[in-house]
Amino acid sequence: MKPYELTLRESRDFAAAEGFDALRSSLLERIETLNPKLNALVRFKREDWTGSPRLASPAGGELAGVPIAIKDNICVKGLETACASKILKGHVPPYDAAVIEKLKGAGAVVFGQCNMDEFAFGSSCETSAFGPVRNPWDLERVPGGSSGGSAAAVAAGLVPAALGSDTGGSIRQPAAFCGVVGLKPTYGRVSRYGLIAFGSSFDQIGPITKNVEDAALLMKFLAGHDARDSTSAPEEVPDYTKSLRRDVKGLRIGLPEEYFGAGLDPEVEKSVREAADVYRRLGAEIKTIKLPHTPYAVAVYYIVAVAEASSNLGRFDGVRFGSRIAADSLKEMYEKTREEGFGAEAKRRILLGTFVLSAGYYDAYYRQGQKVRTLIRQDFQKAWESVDVLLSPTAPTPAFKIGEKLSDPLAMYLSDIMTIPANLAGVPALSLPCGFTRSGLPLGLQLMGRPFDEETLIRAAYTLEQEIGITGRKPPL
């Protein structure tokens, strides 16, 4: 097996046996061959990743020598971090995000930064200032968004694992489109310190990996309380790798009927229902349940999340961060910097967010949106009275063509209809490969669980993964 084909755990063992330089050289060769086609990694030059003191083989740690790529909205000290936006060009953080501190403490090495939708605004990785990312399974299709660069890089073997962020599905949907595993932790489980914010009550950092074992391994180091993040939960962190066992006997799995309606691709539905049959055969109890406020999730999300985005992006004005356009007055500088710095989708969401927060519209939109968000959260709370896990498609369709939905924002937004509710409720959710279309595109299913019960998700996902045996199939690159 080539080094670039290794999982995270296998890469760790390879680095220990053969040395980090051997692993790095193989990945660099792979990146130089494939990244020009995929555009998954940004600002990647060989000279930046060879002979650098920060890439010296670590002395120890459970992840010693393992290269991990980082989404371009997670701050890394000394590396330009720009959220794939022109307005943050040249922004070099003077500190590491909490998750970067933890990974470095475990011996892992930051190895490249991943392309993304600008400021995580998108579901296709087409809104990046660096240009679109391409799906390694079909270069004419999107990898999903906004963590599409992370998912494409892992699927193509450019890196053994990557970090993404998930505000409305931005880890899980790309994982489904690219045939890898993506885990969005419970809101508050992983520190957001050092994550450039989109929606502060939604955002969570999580792993994108080749299999469930690697996701569990990374979560051991990502999770935990951080006093620098006021939303970080002081919950005890278990050893997630202990959940890697084949055991779903007696597990109560709910199929939300609202996720299996109009607009769901027949091949997606068939694959997910076949997975439910596998769980039933293994001793799980499968039942249909209702999450009645699901139809309102997308509308609520695009009120509340854009309001938070508008507030968060107000700080990017050409004064404190990133690029600045010269002008004759302060007002003109603001206008020119934002006009040239923000892309079309960022401007759309800033305008929408400002509108729903404005006088005369706040009560009609933002306040109502928050009320319905509470109802959606209550749907999940009621569901946990009768089931332990929810099973659904991750996305209603396989990966779509590049440009197919770019001119239709509503169609683009609806591609996250399956993933948004978990963010509104703050519950953990995992996307797992579950099949392929007749044309060879990967399909993903979603498992959602109780708050802070990532262990059950990992156990359920690992059981199915081992049973159906499709994780690890490689794209025809």
pLDDT in single tens digits along all 477 residues of the chain? 888 899 999 999 998 898 888 898 999 999 999 999 999 999 987 776 665 545 554 557 899 989 999 999 999 999 999 999 999 999 999 999 999 999 999 999 999 999 999 999 999 999 999 999 999 999 999 999 999 999 999 999 999 999 999 999 999 999 999 999 999 999 999 999 999 999 999 999 999 999 999 999 999 999 999 999 999 999 999 999 999 999 999 999 999 999 998 899 999 999 999 999 999 999 999 999 999 999 999 999 999 999 999 999 999 988 988 889 999 999 999 999 999 999 999 999 999 999 999 988 999 999 999 999 999 999 999 999 999 999 999 999 999 999 999 988 888 988 899 999 999 999 999 999 999 999 999 999 999 999 999 999 999 999 999 999 988 789 988
Pairing of strands 429-436, 442-449: antiparallel
Q: Is residue 84 within 8 Å of residue 42, measured between CB atoms?
A: yes
In this structure, the number of other CB atoms found within 10 A of the CB of residue 474 comes to: 13
- Give which of 51, 102, 94 is closest to 76, Cα–Cα: 94
Residue 49 confidence (pLDDT): 65
**Helix count (H) and strand count (E) of the chain?**
14, 11
Residue 410 confidence (pLDDT): 84
Residue 345 confidence (pLDDT): 95
Specify the number of domains making up the chain. 1
Q: Is residue 389 within 8 Å of residue 449, measured between CB atoms?
A: yes
Instruction: Give CA torsion, residues 98, 6, 39, 149, to 10 deg.
Output: -40
Name the active-site residue from 11, 26, 71, 147. Answer: 71
Q: Is residue 327 part of a domain?
A: no
Residue 65 confidence (pLDDT): 87
Distance, CA of 328 to chain centre = 41
Q: Is residue 300 within 8 Å of residue 424, measured between CB atoms?
A: yes
Q: Is residue 324 part of a domain?
A: no
Q: Is residue 138 part of a domain?
A: yes
- Give which of 358, 357, 314, 356 is closest to 337, Cα–Cα: 314
Q: Is residue 113 part of a domain?
A: yes
Q: How far is CA 269 from CA 294, 390, 395, 411, in A?
A: 18, 15, 10, 19
Residue 51 confidence (pLDDT): 56
Give me the residue label for tokens 């005369």: 360
Q: Is residue 305 part of a domain?
A: no
Name the active-site residue from 26, 85, 147, 170. Answer: 170
Q: Is residue 68 within 8 Å of residue 199, measured between CB atoms?
A: no
Q: Is residue 171 part of a domain?
A: yes
Q: Is residue 67 within 8 Å of residue 27, measured between CB atoms?
A: yes
Q: Does the pTM of the predicted model rise above 0.85?
A: yes
Q: Which domain holds residue 81?
A: 3-254+385-468
CATH of the domain at 444: 3.90.1300.10
CA distance 103 to 163: 11
Residue 71 is among the residues annotated as catalytic for this protein: yes
Please give the helix or strand (H or E) that residue 313 lies within, else none. helix 297-313
CA distance 160 to 153: 8
**DSSP state for residue 50 in the 8-state scheme:** S
Q: Is residue 168 part of a domain?
A: yes
Q: Is residue 103 within 8 Å of residue 8, measured between CB atoms?
A: no
Q: Is residue 80 part of a domain?
A: yes
Residue 147 is among the residues annotated as catalytic for this protein: no
Residue 407 is among the residues annotated as catalytic for this protein: no
Residue 214 confidence (pLDDT): 98
